[in-house]
Structure 1
Amino acid sequence: MSDSQSGSWAEIFTPRYATVTLILCLGVALFAFNAFLASVALPTAVQQLGGVALISWALTLYLVLAIMGGAGAALLKQRLGSRMALIVSGGVFLVGTLIAANASSMTEVLIGRSFQGLGEGVVAAICFALIPELFPSRLVPKVFGMQAVIWAVAAFGGPVLAGLLTELVSWRAAFLINVPVVLIFAAMVAFRVPGKSNDVVESPGFPGIRLVVIGGGIMLVALAGIAPPLQATGLLAGAAAMLVGAVQLDRRSRTRLMPTGAFWPDTTVGSGLWVALLMPVAGATSAVYLVLLVQQLWGYGPTLAGGIGAVMAVAWSLSAIVVANVRQRETRKVLIRTGPALLSLGLLGVLTGLLTGQLAVLLVAQLAIGAGFGISNGYLNLTLMEASSDADRDRTSALIPTTQSAGNAIGAALAGVAANGAGYATATGAAAIQQAITPVFVLGAAMAALAFLAAWRTAGLVRPQDTSSSFAAG
């Protein structure tokens, strides 16, 4: 069926696609819910085990290993096949879960979180890579719409579920709830996901140096988020040098982690990956500070403040569903370009709402931020997949979630540097807090503006022949 024919939402739940739709949703759910489960359970774990100084490393190590795992996922898929790669990485995640849940010290928790990150990074990347392999292009936006719904459900249900498990059972239960989900996921993968191709493929070498360089760069980014401003600037400069070096190394390697032209602005894939990186960088500024700021400035409780923060996730999901039936290529280009513009305006709107004390302005701005991601994300991903050659498609698909995770890490670090540099940590009183936080949102809006420029170029580079592959013909 050609791309001009739009599939219905019901089609992804027909017998032909229902199982793989559920598999991909479970893969996303592992990542989405685990983020909230761990963030709620870890403070209680620290109280019981000690080691409060290590709590931030539970997220840092998870994130670094997840990005490293995602970076190597395409090669792992090539070597083991999709089915075995998902089962193995799911097993790594399960081992990490059991280590963390049965830990007797924070050191053991950190080891478990590292295994969780490595496994989930591979799972998320391979699930992305399977989308163009298992679905025709007309259904891809709907698959991304379903993933957005999973994130929205996790944003609301994750903290509630984790809180109930932690309070009524124990913090260990909040980790162990992952066990049945992983087992169900692995069982479904074993029966439904295709195995390794019989085609003779040269065994790829292990890209150890590049993975270490990527992991080291992200580690420096994470450290910059908690370092004094001057040191943070040096750490970010070092991280940028390492990540640029990793891209350069990969371009010269015989067994590449990244698709041809990755992050080079003269190709659709290269400029599109900049959009995939810069939009999370921009969005992280609000994600990191908004809930805390609403409590500090307006005296809201955690539940109400969290609800305001979750408005963005709901808007993301709803807007992704609304635009999932768009068929015209020119309209898709408009959506790709409009998303970053809405994000930039939304971040400035959040700042305006915080400075003026207007809840209505803040909520509208949150809706704009969520809609910015929702209307553009699915079609950006589809464009990147369609623009990739058959040989590069796995690399492109796997690199998208990895790039987005890196963007979230970089954005959180930049927001921390901007806030600390403006004196947010020592600010007392509403006026001082407002003054200190202004550079954070201005920086976020500027990053979104850069994403808009990259999106404009990405859409402009799209050519009809980009969709001549077997995937687009679906």
Structure 2
Amino acid sequence: MVRPAGRGGTAAAAPAGPLSRAHRATTLPVLAFICLVAFESIAVATAMPRAAADLGAVRSYGLAFSSFLTASLLGTVVAGSWADARGPRPPMAAGAALFVVGQSVCAAAPTYSALLAGRLLAGLGGGLLVVSIYVVVGSAYPDEVRPRVFGWMSACWVLPGVAGPALAGWMADAVSWRLVFGVVVPVAVLVAAVILPRVAAAAAAHGTPGGTGGAGAARRRVWRGLAVAGGAGALQAGAEDLTGGGAAAVLLTAGGAAVVVAALPGLLPPGALRLARGLPSVVVVRGLFTAAFFGTETFVPLMLVSERGFSLSQAGLVLTGGTLGWFAGTTSQARALDRLPRALLLLVGGTALAAAGALLAALTLTGASGWWVLAAWLLAGFGMGLGIATTSVLTLRLAAPAERGLASSALQLSDNLGCVLGIAVAGGVFAALHVGAGRDQALFGGLYAGLALVALAAGIVGTRARAPRPAVSCPGPAAGSSTVGGP
């Protein structure tokens, strides 16, 4: 591809692509890790209904997902400062180790409490890993190539997304749900052994880590991260127990929410909570997207199994639509990011996700065949592909090079917190109103409709993703002719 000729009539060749000789040694190990994470995520979502039933914890079903994400909150906060100060390799190594230990604990869990402990360890490792990968992408590739890198990363979800649900469903039905957790352990060890030396080489080739405010600032971020993770955990635990109507559950829920609100501003870009233009709004939009999508996705397999009589393999197959749609959305943004207003891509993505949620609610409430959910989830995945890839690219584009770790940490913090809140609120509502298998049709429909409104809000807030114009201190051609970051 050749860029259009400039005013002087010359054309500049496009930079080397993600799989070119210049970038291949970095790209391939990163993609391998993404494939592993993709399979684990999709496989666990498929097998969890069986695990929760076997361990007698269907009412607390959502905790298996939100506990993973709560621990990820702390991992993302720690990884941001750590990667900026020491490079991405140390947090990536620690994340891989914690992920492996957590998956092993889940595979052997004798009780649901033990499974939740394993999910906490794996989530902490996952938070460290994701931010480390973002820092690698931010340092190793030029701005023009990053949309294509995120496109390739999205492509890594296609094969696991197509084969993973059926394979995980077969494992859970024919062998045991424990195999779904355990099978990724040896693969994760092998991938980590390959990727860590390559990450060290990439960091050395593309610059040295920069400072992010010193050790004192890093410690304050860790304490705030602990507060957010603890508050989110308290909120989840209280929400799950609100069915009893006790004062303790109400206080736990309200107290957890208050702690999150108090600690969060210090971990996000200034102005995020008032939706300031540019990076602050990009970070907030990411959380709204994930709250809507993953809050819904968590309860799609359960609805299909309990209300439509699907097997685990069939329910997992429906999730394939989301994977294919996600890839299509990410591919579209890679081609359109520099030709269309970035805010428009977020508006379209949020609207598509909201429409999918509304359609899913209608299908559930009308008793339509569960296979129609595949089409709704294809649309939901497309909206997420647009939204997640666009926010990822804009975050690295708007952040200063020495602060990409902190910016990526803030983005992933919003990502995980959105997941936690979406799943926790949906899980609390489900726990409070759950009647029994075959009798929760109205409950599922209401959950999907409510989360569709969150997706619509994501699209609306996305219109503020434009970078703010620089202040003009004096009139004149030089001051008046400069704009930054407009679509």
In the superposition, the TM-score normalised over structure 2's length comes to 0.80
Contact persistence 1:337–1:459 (CA under 8 A)? no
Question: How far is 1:79 from its partner?
Answer: 3.2
CA distance change for structure 1 residues 236 and 314 in 2, over 3 Å: closer, same or farther? farther
Contact persistence 1:6–1:138 (CA under 8 A)? no
Structure 1 stretch 114-123 or stretch 356-365: which is displaced more? Answer: 356-365
CA distance change for structure 1 residues 466 and 112 in 2, over 3 Å: closer, same or farther? farther
C-alpha offsets along residues 315-341 of structure 1, whole Å, 9 cap, x if unaligned?
111221233122535443321211111
Q: Look up the match of 2:219.
A: 206
CA distance change for structure 1 residues 164 and 354 in 2, over 3 Å: closer, same or farther? closer
Structure 1 stretch 270-279 or stretch 322-331: which is displaced more? Answer: 322-331
Q: Look up the match of 1:458.
A: 465
SS at match of 1:12: coil
Q: Look up the match of 1:406.
A: 417
Trace 1:412-427 onto structure 2 (pairs within 5 A): 412-421=423-432, 423=433, 425-426=434-435
Contact persistence 2:103–2:181 (CA under 8 A)? no
Contact persistence 1:225–1:415 (CA under 8 A)? no
CA distance change for structure 1 residues 206 and 351 in 2, over 3 Å: closer, same or farther? same
SS at match of 1:72: helix
Q: Look up the match of 1:368.
A: 379
C-alpha offsets along residues 343-370 of structure 1, whole Å, 9 cap, x if unaligned?
1111111112223344586444323211
Q: Look up the match of 1:253.
A: none
SS at match of 1:137: coil
Structure 1 stretch 154-163 or stretch 215-224: which is displaced more? Answer: 154-163
Contact persistence 2:279–2:467 (CA under 8 A)? no
C-alpha offsets along residues 176-213 of structure 1, whole Å, 9 cap, x if unaligned?
53334333334333233315837677445423421221
Trace 1:212-361 onto structure 2 (pairs within 5 A): 212-228=226-242, 235-248=252-265, 250=266, 257-359=267-369
SS at match of 1:337: helix
What one-letter code is carried by the residue in structure 2 that aligns with 1:313? T
C-alpha offsets along residues 142-167 of structure 1, whole Å, 9 cap, x if unaligned?
22222223334333333444456665
C-alpha offsets along residues 219-266 of structure 1, whole Å, 9 cap, x if unaligned?
124324522355676554333311111124x2xxxxxx4444444412
Q: Look up the match of 1:392.
A: 403
Q: Percent identity?
A: 21
What one-letter code is carried by the residue in structure 2 that aligns with 1:449? L
Which of residues 138, 143, 164 is equivalent to 1:132? 138
Contact persistence 1:295–1:305 (CA under 8 A)? yes
SS at match of 1:426: coil
Which residues of structure 1 form unaligned runs of 5+? 251-256, 469-474
Structure 1 stretch 273-282 or stretch 146-155: which is displaced more? Answer: 146-155
What one-letter code is carried by the residue in structure 2 that aligns with 1:21? T
For the pair 1:194 / 2:203, whether they are aligned, the reply is yes
Contact persistence 1:261–1:269 (CA under 8 A)? no
What one-letter code is carried by the residue in structure 2 that aligns with 1:136? P
In the superposition, the TM-score normalised over structure 1's length comes to 0.81
Which residues of structure 2 form unaligned runs of 5+? 5-11, 471-481
Structure 1 stretch 211-220 or stretch 451-460: which is displaced more? Answer: 451-460
Structure 1 stretch 445-454 or stretch 88-97: which is displaced more? Answer: 88-97
Structure 1 stretch 121-130 or stretch 328-337: which is displaced more? Answer: 328-337
Trace 1:61-76 onto structure 2 (pairs within 5 A): 61-76=67-82
Contact persistence 1:129–1:398 (CA under 8 A)? no
Question: How far is 1:451 from its partner?
Answer: 1.2
Structure 1 stretch 258-267 or stretch 62-71: which is displaced more? Answer: 258-267
Q: How far apart, CA to CA, are the structure 1 residues paired with 2:151 and 2:90?
A: 27
Question: How far is 1:420 from its partner?
Answer: 4.6
CA distance change for structure 1 residues 278 and 174 in 2, over 3 Å: closer, same or farther? closer
Structure 1 stretch 408-417 or stretch 83-92: which is displaced more? Answer: 83-92
Question: How far is 1:120 from its partner?
Answer: 1.8
Question: How far is 1:21 from its partner?
Answer: 1.7
Q: CA RMSD in A?
A: 3.7
What one-letter code is carried by the residue in structure 1 that aligns with 2:224? R
C-alpha offsets along residues 378-432 of structure 1, whole Å, 9 cap, x if unaligned?
12222222222334322112222332122112111222334455x3x11676xx6
Which of residues 128, 141, 146 is equivalent to 2:147? 141
Which of residues 423, 441, 445 is equivalent to 1:438? 445
Q: How far apart, CA to CA, are the structure 2 residues paired with 1:382 and 1:2?
A: 21
Q: How far apart, CA to CA, are the structure 1 residues paired with 2:314 and 2:325?
A: 17
CA distance change for structure 1 residues 323 and 457 in 2, over 3 Å: closer, same or farther? closer
Contact persistence 1:156–1:310 (CA under 8 A)? yes
Question: How far is 1:117 from its partner?
Answer: 2.1
Q: Look up the match of 1:254.
A: none
Question: How far is 1:121 from its partner?
Answer: 1.0
How many residues are matched?
455
Contact persistence 2:36–2:184 (CA under 8 A)? no
SS at match of 2:240: coil
